[in-house]
Amino acid sequence: MPEALLSARAITVRFGGLVACDGVDLEVHPGELVGLIGPNGAGKTTFFHALSGVIAPDAGRLVVGGADLTGRAAHVFARHGVARTFQTPRVFRDMSALDNVRFGLEFAGRRRVHAHDAFDDPRAILGFLGLGEAAAVPAGALTPARQRLLEIGMALAARPRVLLLDEVAAGLTHTELEASAALIRRVRDQLGVAVVWIEHAVRVLMDHVERVAVLHQGRKIADGDPRAVSRDPAVIEAYLGEEGEPERLAA
């Protein structure tokens, strides 16, 4: 097994009395496409906050590319190759789509070298995402679905080793969903970026990832092959509180 790009050990995040993440471990290796699922309130987004340096964990260690970044600021994580999107797309609304992508290249991506030529030019990145004609449009004027794509472009411009995608499916039709999933596969396959993908549309995710981790009430309760995980009794029980979830899990 090649050395982990991103290694999270025993990550614990507390908000006052509430424990959002409780001793979560996760390792991401080069070329992996890992899914992260769990019922609402499981702590998935909080975990992403910890993985990207947005929140400093109360306990645990974060090692990125061999460097211990626990407690460091978010920009340090970005410069070490961790890029992310947010649950609701956060783009620089007044800047053009092109400038939004250029931003990542100017800062986190500036000193990072990457093999694929999609990363050298903002237009190439926009093209990769199918946003080529939107280059001059102010980001705030794009539809939410396209803003989400733009956000992925911004993250790719940071030339990451690991891309953390926080939900892609919200509000998409089934066809759009499949297209997004295919795009994520392409990011991993063609660009060689490892991806960790949080998703509520569990079935789509399960069809495309090789490995899935399940969080429940802040703890990781499963981590492995999608088929095995979907049959794991603990996982099924965790989802029983959610309406209809068990059907969605069956791969």
Partner 1 sequence: MTPRPTLVATAIAAALLAPAPWVASDFALSLMLSCLMYVGLAVSWAMFSGATNYLSLATAAFFGIGAYVTAWGHGTLPYALAVALGGLAATIFATAVGAAVLHLRGAYFAVLTFGLGELVRHAITYAEKTWAKTVGRVITEPPAPEVVYLTVLALAMLAVATAAAVRASRFGLALAGIGSDEERARTLGVNTRATKIAGFALAAFFAGALGAAVAVRWTYIEPASVFNPFIGFQTVLIAMVGGAHTLIGPIASAVVFSVLTEVLRLQFPYAYLITLGALLILLVLYLPGGIASVFERWKWARSHA
Residue ranges in contact with partner 1 by CB under 8 A? 52-54, 73-75, 77-79, 83-84, 86, 90-95, 99, 102-104, 106-110, 154-155, 157-158
Nearest residue (CB) to partner 1, 73 versus 228: 73
- What's the chain's length in residues? 251
Q: How far is the CB of 69 from partner 1 (least distance, A)?
A: 13
Total Cβ atoms within 10 A of residue 29? 16
Nearest residue (CB) to partner 1, 90 versus 174: 90
Q: Name, in order, each residue with C-beta under 8 angstroms of 45's C-beta and a sequence gap of 6 or more.
A: 87, 166, 198
Q: How far is the CB of 105 from partner 1 (least distance, A)?
A: 9
Nearest residue (CB) to partner 1, 160 versus 226: 160
Nearest residue (CB) to partner 1, 81 versus 226: 81
Q: How far apart (Å, rounded) are the C-alpha atoms in residues 154 and 146?
A: 12
Q: How far is the CB of 82 from partner 1 (least distance, A)?
A: 8
Looking up tokens 């990072």 gives 112
Q: How far is the CB of 103 from partner 1 (least distance, A)?
A: 6
Nearest residue (CB) to partner 1, 93 versus 186: 93
Q: How far is the CB of 119 from partner 1 (least distance, A)?
A: 14
The CA dihedral of 194, 196, 197, 203, to the nearest 10 degrees, is 90
Render 91-149 in DSSP notation, one character per residue.
--TTSBHHHHHHHHHHTTTTT---SSGGGS-HHHHHHHTT-GGGTTSBGGGS-HHHHHH
Strand 6-15 with 59-64, pairing: antiparallel
Spatial CA neighbour of 204 closest among 239, 234, 161, 167? 167
Q: How far is the CB of 157 from partner 1 (least distance, A)?
A: 8
78-to-4, 110, 117, 173 alpha-carbon distances in Å: 17, 11, 20, 32
Nearest residue (CB) to partner 1, 69 versus 78: 78
Q: How far apart (Å, rounded) are the C-alpha atoms in residues 144 and 56?
A: 29
H-helix or E-strand containing 220? strand 219-224
Nearest residue (CB) to partner 1, 86 versus 239: 86
Q: How far is the CB of 159 from partner 1 (least distance, A)?
A: 10
